Structure 1
């Protein structure tokens, strides 16, 4: 089972009835219900990242779409049947794809059937002697209807892959390249020939995003400084006949074209500036009255095109990526950099529902790389806890492949444009998942003002969410915390520090009387220990909790956690030990050393000596709860990456034997983690029983679940069929399609209740409320209303 892919690698696309949202999700296309924001199905077939999803417009019954991928293929799908109808293999990675003819007005497509052409941004073919060219990408045309061979005609070559932008009318195609915008006019009768008419718009700063007006010759673009430029009357010279020039002049005078640089083909250019960082989102409303913009601030700005006045949808909490309108005028989608897609109700500028993927890795990871911990697994429930940018912890279900909820660790307003001052460096869960420990670090400013805070959290049995129970400032004076470990059976935990000590914490029982005020803290320090003032870098409890192992630089110290007595000192390693873990209920202890001589050592507790070891650079390690098996992620040298087809390898061992039981090559192993999960038949999508599953999450937080003891590598679908039926919406017709279902009429109901009924029970009073730019035209409403009241019948003519 695979999951955790990015939902915002390319813009999503709505179905024609606006009930489905098609989202590029890794090498597949995830289909979500807009009513529930839950995944209902997926399109499987591509072998690399999907880069474009284009739904074929038409009636609400049609469910066809085109997709492109880095695997070099274009596929035509019937996404109602989850069936691939057509596949075109271009043998070159496709970075972006647009299909102008699908956006053309119906009258231009009536009559004779024409070929459908796509414009692609592809990787360039290698030159002679198989040497790559200086330009790595090129824009080319492809006949999707009668594909025989990719057209050799190239619109343009670029040094880097670019995103293609098509106008809502399908008449113009544009790209941004540094400080220039290149715009082509798509011919009405498209053919295999190249597009001849084009123009270029210039700017003093690098462009970041481009948008076309739906009906007028207006082009908007955002730059890296936060400015929005709007050109009006674009293409009056290049895209019109010589006799149709404005006022019969060539308009070369700078006074006639205010704001236009280098005599570009535009009447005027105006500049708006609100964003403090680069603009990453620009989109016109469907009627062209408004312009939407967004950037790193996490604020959606709604500009009135004629006046320049703006309104805001703030506190989104993440940089914005894409804004997509739906066939339903009141529904839109907003993709954010934190791997979330929000479904917006634009009439009230509010977020109705959210599709939440796993949050990406922290941008501050490099700042606190030596202090940050990896994702924490709840092996019982099959979820993972990861740190988020907004000082929180996200709990993500690995079986369901969706976000569960978030816990705010630091009560502080998060602004994406601010400098990083606070980092949640550590999260650790207990074995049963009922307790959590977190560490947040306030970074010092110019070496002054740093602060470390340790928090213990308890899981509420009713809400199934964590709430903070104890807050401890500077638990190890001014030293950073290196590890947190929970007792397997009791409410006890240990924290170790680089300052040379460790502390054992116990949870006090709730013994106060009813008349007394409740205690603010429930955890207290039980004992403090150290060993020769050496840095304590790792800690772990044994399976029964009777032994506490703490790594003191290059040696392992064994303690009695109840009496805080030193029992023994084990071995000596050439490099500092950074990780300790007991292997299930066996007598073996694992130690991982980092440094000039990285090493994995298996220690026998009965002999207090090393049993066997490997000279490997270990990224992560996990063990089973009952058996004596453990798994590791080992980083491979760059010289061996081509041999293993990855930068890491997963090895599964029996602690008694140095020969691996199984191995798998993996990619993006740096920053990854691994864990054994309890398999549950009810949680597995295919319903097949599995006692233990192995979860691997890579540095980009993409994960895979598999059976480590199954010799056959079997892939199963993430979505169960019995879940899909419950998510399907029931169709409504006639009166119910406009006003909703009528309530059940009860003769015994009190007549007075109908008099004092609230306005919310009268949908006809608010059905046409909202801004005028979002309401459909009166002609469209009238036809829809009359058609909904008619019942279609099939008549048989004899």
Structure 2
């Protein structure tokens, strides 16, 4: 089993002591990447819930230790050079954030603090989120001593000197001064700084008593000299303001304990705030990032600004490396960029899979389904910046991106363009995309269909043809590619489909022959002006199946001739796929009566069906098996430990072969790939196996062997799910093989309900053109009701 697609930016990452590695919280593990190549080199596995914090122990370049916290309630001490767990502490409460002050400050101070290491954690006691203190050396349960309670979990922010601890809470900053020598006693000294807007982020100055905060409006506030009255020793000479001198505190509200408060403004919303030293000079920068995807370096003294624009996604974290020439930023699009300081150039990126789009509900025809290149193990997903990301499922990293729409993306702007559909050909050499320019006040909408060709040298797609309004003003519902020829079909909600062919020609230029390809319309078809929501080609490309509302139309794609109309479903068909070398056709219907139907192409009749809400379906390669992803009712989620279930079928048998419970099934997808799952397949003497990939609604995925019942969580179905098998329709009840009915069959709860005990009730149902002549039908029908006897010769 291979897992991937984790979120790289759920928590702040951390550099190793030498700056050569980056430790990233990825789900239940900590992934370790090389800062020079951006590739993963190892991982820390052991937590049973998402990891929330990683803190590297300061030491020499040789020693590689870190502490991690998790929602599973444990704190682990790792040697990440091996990697292995050295110590595990169970706090018994989910941990949202953890800081260790003794690891910060000067080396002399650190040596004095390491005798007893204390951590400050944000935990949930079952009622509220609390900030508590615990010992990591002489371990005991987290004490009852609570520094602060909050309704929501707040990240703990520690000053670079390790002297101050702060959190943001609504419109306030709470700051504690930590004791020089840690003990079990409470942190007595605390101040509160007030603001008029909700605070989103805060950061401490490395050397001065200065704290910066950003609010929801994008304003940056800087309090200088905080804690002058309460934190400083009164015997010191730095106490520059008297206890009652509140009138000279410029910008300070409610007589807060600070010398001054200044307000800066640049972004529409401040997300990243950090302090950094400019090279080796004593010039401190305030580093600000916002939702526009722009990084700003602001000199505190001179007010000069430097920008790193067009990052393309809101910024979340800024982390400095022990190497002064290296730093990183984490972005909301699941990317981590390595920066060369002080020029702030992006030199390398850790590319995770892009998250689902935030504007999926704005367009009726939007499809957030991923497209799979089954031969190379790539998945193509839409991105927020009007592009397509190609992600390697086996390597678990981004390969490259294709910009579908040449438009500057501003995350804070209103969405006016959307890439609604992406589809790949069987061999992965052609891509089709659909983009929609949304109308403004009902005027100005535009639908564009684009075909892309894969360059054999660069292995990247380039656009070959752009077709504006291919179906007049109707939206495109589906794109399907011919398995062997350069042919494609697009269906529309407007009631027609179009067959496109690619014409290639040679252009002579300076004695060299250059290929020029272009797509043109080959044929147009429709059926009773019904909306066509799905289309697919058979395995050999000789049959084109198009869903016309609730019926399936079969066409000859070369001659554009209607060959047959198959059955009818209660609700509109939204997906089609051939299975079993095109001997069977799978249809998925959504609506009040959702259904998965399996149609026999030899009999042009329904073989069996299920009443299930199907999210995705994928036929296996060169076999009669197929897999479906079904959504479970809320009443069954607890029993199945998930909101979805993957069922593996043989198209000839309505009884599923295996099942697998999954989570986040809404918006998920399935696809069969080619390749070996592990070295075990080679040791057992097995050849290349067909693998199944499941990608959930958050674009996390898992690759497994669906036929191996021991290698993963697959098991024979033994629980009751709301599935229903239907009887056969039309003349197949007579000419097909009659099912064997067992009247003594156990009628207890099972996965599949038994077929109808009175099949003759449906014998005359179906379209009239599918039934034989009445003269022939009646004689066969009556003859089948009679019991035949063999006369014995005397």
Identify the residue that residue 740 of structure 1 maps to in structure 2: none
Report the secondary structure of 1:81's partner residue: coil
Label 1:519 to 1:248 Cα distance change in 2 as closer, same or farther (>3 A).
closer
Cα distance in 2 for residues equivalent to 1:191 and 1:694: 54
Q: CA deviation at 1:243?
A: 4.4
Comparing 697-706 and 344-353, the one that deviates more = 344-353
Comparing 519-528 and 500-509, the one that deviates more = 519-528
Cα distance in 1 for residues equivalent to 2:679 and 2:332: 29
Please provide the CA RMSD for this pair. 1.9
Cα distance in 1 for residues equivalent to 2:73 and 2:677: 37
1:359 aligns with 2:354: yes
Q: 442, 445, 452: which is aligned to 2:440?
A: 445
Cα distance in 2 for residues equivalent to 1:98 and 1:682: 39
Q: CA deviation at 1:560?
A: 0.3
**Contact residue 399 and residue 683 of structure 1 kept, 8 A:** no
1:697 aligns with 2:695: yes
1:462 aligns with 2:457: yes
Aligned positions of 1:381-420 closer than 5 A: 381-420=376-415
Identify the residue that residue 675 of structure 2 maps to in structure 1: 679
Aligned positions of 1:603-682 closer than 5 A: 603-680=599-676
Q: 210, 220, 229: which is aligned to 1:237?
A: 229
Q: 297, 305, 321: which is aligned to 2:292?
A: 297
**Contact residue 629 and residue 646 of structure 2 kept, 8 A:** yes
Identify the residue that residue 179 of structure 1 maps to in structure 2: 171
Report the secondary structure of 2:636's partner residue: helix
Report the secondary structure of 2:505's partner residue: coil
CA-to-partner distance for each residue in 1:500-537, whole Å, 9 max, x for gaps?
00000001022455589989761110000000000000
Q: 491, 499, 523: which is aligned to 1:527?
A: 523
**Contact residue 368 and residue 382 of structure 2 kept, 8 A:** no
Identify the residue that residue 719 of structure 1 maps to in structure 2: none
Report the secondary structure of 1:107's partner residue: helix
CA-to-partner distance for each residue in 1:740-787, whole Å, 9 max, x for gaps?
xxxxxxxxxxxxxxxxxxxxxxxxxxxxxxxxxxxxxxxxxxxxxxxx
Cα distance in 2 for residues equivalent to 1:207 and 1:248: 28
Structure 1 segments (4+ residues) deviating >6 Å:
515-520, 681-688
Label 1:416 to 1:244 Cα distance change in 2 as closer, same or farther (>3 A).
same
Identify the residue that residue 313 of structure 2 maps to in structure 1: 318
Cα distance in 1 for residues equivalent to 2:681 and 2:125: 41
Cα distance in 2 for residues equivalent to 1:682 and 1:356: 24
Cα distance in 2 for residues equivalent to 1:68 and 1:288: 35
Identify the residue that residue 199 of structure 2 maps to in structure 1: 207
Q: CA deviation at 1:123?
A: 1.2
**Contact residue 542 and residue 582 of structure 1 kept, 8 A:** yes
TM-score, normalisation: structure 1: 0.86
**Contact residue 681 and residue 687 of structure 1 kept, 8 A:** no
**Contact residue 77 and residue 88 of structure 2 kept, 8 A:** yes
Report the secondary structure of 1:508's partner residue: strand
1:44 aligns with 2:45: yes
Comparing 183-192 and 288-297, the one that deviates more = 288-297
Q: CA deviation at 1:194?
A: 1.5
Comparing 189-198 and 470-479, the one that deviates more = 189-198
Unaligned runs of 5+ in 2: 714-794
Comparing 364-373 and 391-400, the one that deviates more = 364-373
Identify the residue that residue 570 of structure 1 maps to in structure 2: 566
Label 1:687 to 1:201 Cα distance change in 2 as closer, same or farther (>3 A).
farther
Cα distance in 2 for residues equivalent to 1:288 and 1:152: 43
Identify the residue that residue 751 of structure 2 maps to in structure 1: none
Q: CA deviation at 1:52?
A: 0.5
CA-to-partner distance for each residue in 1:361-414, whole Å, 9 max, x for gaps?
001112126422400000001110000011100000000000000011111111
Identify the residue that residue 283 of structure 1 maps to in structure 2: 274
Report the secondary structure of 1:426's partner residue: strand
Cα distance in 2 for residues equivalent to 1:686 and 1:81: 27
Cα distance in 2 for residues equivalent to 1:714 and 1:405: 31
Label 1:15 to 1:686 Cα distance change in 2 as closer, same or farther (>3 A).
farther
**Contact residue 372 and residue 379 of structure 2 kept, 8 A:** yes
Cα distance in 2 for residues equivalent to 1:155 and 1:292: 29
**Contact residue 438 and residue 456 of structure 1 kept, 8 A:** yes
Q: CA deviation at 1:112?
A: 8.1
Cα distance in 1 for residues equivalent to 2:432 and 2:253: 58
Q: 122, 137, 141: which is aligned to 2:133?
A: 141
Identify the residue that residue 29 of structure 1 maps to in structure 2: 30
Identify the residue that residue 189 of structure 1 maps to in structure 2: 181
Identify the residue that residue 210 of structure 2 maps to in structure 1: 218
Q: CA deviation at 1:110?
A: 3.3
Q: 551, 557, 562: which is aligned to 1:561?
A: 557
Identify the residue that residue 580 of structure 1 maps to in structure 2: 576
**Contact residue 321 and residue 335 of structure 1 kept, 8 A:** yes
**Contact residue 52 and residue 96 of structure 1 kept, 8 A:** yes
Number of residue equivalences: 705
CA-to-partner distance for each residue in 1:104-149, whole Å, 9 max, x for gaps?
3222243685211111111123xxxxxxx3xx31111111111121
Aligned positions of 1:468-507 closer than 5 A: 468-507=463-502
Cα distance in 2 for residues equivalent to 1:655 and 1:182: 63
Q: CA deviation at 1:478?
A: 0.4
Cα distance in 1 for residues equivalent to 2:667 and 2:392: 20
Q: 705, 708, 711: which is aligned to 1:707?
A: 705
Highest RCO, 1 vs 2 (Cα 8 Å, sep ≥ 6): 1
CA-to-partner distance for each residue in 1:575-602, whole Å, 9 max, x for gaps?
0000000014041000000011100000
Cα distance in 2 for residues equivalent to 1:370 and 1:622: 21
**Contact residue 252 and residue 259 of structure 2 kept, 8 A:** yes
Cα distance in 1 for residues equivalent to 2:633 and 2:523: 42
TM-score, normalisation: structure 2: 0.86
Cα distance in 2 for residues equivalent to 1:686 and 1:84: 31
Q: 328, 341, 346: which is aligned to 1:346?
A: 341
Cα distance in 2 for residues equivalent to 1:95 and 1:612: 49
Report the secondary structure of 2:459's partner residue: coil
**Contact residue 123 and residue 138 of structure 1 kept, 8 A:** yes
